Amino acid sequence: MEKYFFEAAMLVCFGASWPVSIAKALRTKFVRGKSPVFMVLVMVGYLSGMAHKVLNPDPATGHVHPVIWLYAFNLVMVAVDFSLYLRFRDNPEKVSF
C-alpha cells in the first residue's frame, strides 16, 4: 500500500503546478518561457506510467490500480497547457508601465 501512497503523492505534487501555469496562460495570453518539448516529454512520461499500470495490474486485486486516474488527470492538464502554448505562442508580450 505504501508504494501507491508515495506514487500518488508524487503525482499530486507534480500536478499541482499545471493549474497555475494554465491560469497564467489564460490570464496573460502569453506563453514565452514555456518549453513545448518539455511538455511533450512530460505527456509521454504520463502515458508511460498509465501503460505500466494497465500492463501490470495490482497483484492484490488483479485490477488496474486507481492511481491511474491521477496520471490521466495530469496528462489532461499538461495537454491543456500545451494547447494553450500552441494557441498563444505568437502573441507579443504586453508591456505595462
Tens of pLDDT, residue by residue over 17-35, are 899 999 999 998 989 889 9
Give pLDDT tens digits for 60-94: 888 998 899 999 999 999 999 999 999 999 887 76
Torsion of CA 9, 15, 16, 20, to 10 degrees: 180
Helices (H), 1-97: 2-15, 17-28, 36-55, 68-88
Distance CA 15, CA 13 (A): 5
Report CA Rg, the chain.
Answer: 16
User: Full-prediction pTM beyond 0.75?
Assistant: yes
27-53 average pLDDT score: 94
* Domains in the chain with CATH codes: 2-88 (1.20.1280)
